[in-house]
Amino acid sequence: MAEKTFFKTYVKYPLIGAGVSVVWLIFKLLPLRFASALGGFLGSSAYYFASMRNQIALKNMAFAYPDKPLGWRKKLLKKMWRHWGQFFAEMPHSKEWVNGAEVTGEKYLENMKNDGKGGFVCSAHLGNWEFASSYVFQHYFPLHPVYRPANNPWLDKLMFKRRAGVLIPKGSAGVRIMLDLLKSGEHISILCDQRLREGISAPLFGRMAQTPAAMVTLAKKMNLPILMGKAIRMPDGHYRMDVEPLKMSDNPDFDTAVR
């Protein structure tokens, strides 16, 4: 085990980090549209070299879409690989795609900016989730992300630690940091669709899954707003971000679950 850890720490991770850094630089030097197209091509090609991951994905998609045929699921999976390639290729161009964005619900961001208290901006792993936090930070207020470090520290530094704000660790360790920031009138960004050992059980595609409850618990106790955002790539290549407030449930079972 020690030899494996040494190999990863001093050989595998640095080499992967160096390779990804070179590719990142190439995408950064290319025009945004060309970089996105190239990333999409490389992502689509990766589909044919990831048979094991594809099998896992198709199995999970069968649970999510039991009425869809295998051919439909494979087609969707290929689109996912293309999207991942575009996602990575576009990340070095964050200022460009933010400036060319279409946004619905900006009044909710304006209200959050001026209400004099903290709050949450929540998204999920769909579309370009990095877009939402970049847009809000560049146009409205700083966001402090709830964050899980990448296994490879070189990739972690390149892709994630460039984010502005305080990085809040996932799980119970980050709750105190989150609480202190909220009391100071700061805003937290969080991706709510991550599986946790802690949290509450909620239905997802007909199956029960653990989901984090700290955001809703704190928002209810401190009377703080939660904005839900999603950034979707449109057919012509620009992004549209939809923002709307989360409506708290009046269901007593829900209240009991998040306490």
Tell me the pLDDT of the chain (259 aa) as tens digits: 444 588 888 889 999 989 999 999 999 999 989 999 999 999 999 999 999 999 999 999 998 899 999 999 999 999 999 999 999 998 888 878 777 788 899 999 999 999 999 999 998 888 888 887 888 888 889 889 888 777 888 888 777 666 667 888 877 778 889 899 999 999 999 888 876 666 788 888 888 888 878 888 889 999 999 999 988 888 887 889 999 998 765 544 445 444 4
Q: What is the pLDDT of residue 211?
A: 80
Residues 65 and 111 reside in one and the same domain: no
Q: What is the pLDDT of residue 1?
A: 41
Residues 79 and 110 reside in one and the same domain: no
Residues 184 and 159 reside in one and the same domain: yes
Q: What is the pLDDT of residue 258?
A: 47
Residues 224 and 164 reside in one and the same domain: yes
Residues 129 and 76 reside in one and the same domain: no
Residues 209 and 155 reside in one and the same domain: yes
- Give the span between the Cα atoms of 152 and 173, in whole angstroms: 21
Q: What is the pLDDT of residue 2?
A: 42
Of 93, 121, 141, the last residue of a domain is 93
In single-letter form, the type of residue at position 94 comes to S
Domain residues for the domain of 174 are 100-257
Cα 150 from chain centroid (whole Å)? 13
Q: What is the pLDDT of residue 164?
A: 63
- Give the span between the Cα atoms of 259 and 256, in whole angstroms: 6
Query: Count of domains in the chain?
Result: 2
Q: What is the pLDDT of residue 257?
A: 44
Residues 68 and 104 reside in one and the same domain: no
- Give the span between the Cα atoms of 225 and 247, in whole angstroms: 9
Of 68, 93, 118, the last residue of a domain is 93
Residues 81 and 117 reside in one and the same domain: no
Residues 114 and 82 reside in one and the same domain: no
Report the 10 Å Cβ neighbour count for 244. Answer: 12
Of 93, 127, 161, the last residue of a domain is 93
Residues 197 and 231 reside in one and the same domain: yes
Cα 84 from chain centroid (whole Å)? 12
Residues 108 and 86 reside in one and the same domain: no
Residues 132 and 89 reside in one and the same domain: no
- Collapse the DSSP code of 189 into the 3-class scheme (helix H, G, I; strand E, B; otherwise coil) and give the result: strand
Q: Which of 25, 7, 13, 12 is nearest to 156 (CA)?
A: 13
Q: What is the pLDDT of residue 197?
A: 67
Q: What is the pLDDT of residue 173?
A: 76
Instruction: Number of helices (H) and strands (E) in the chain: give both, helices first.
Output: 12, 9
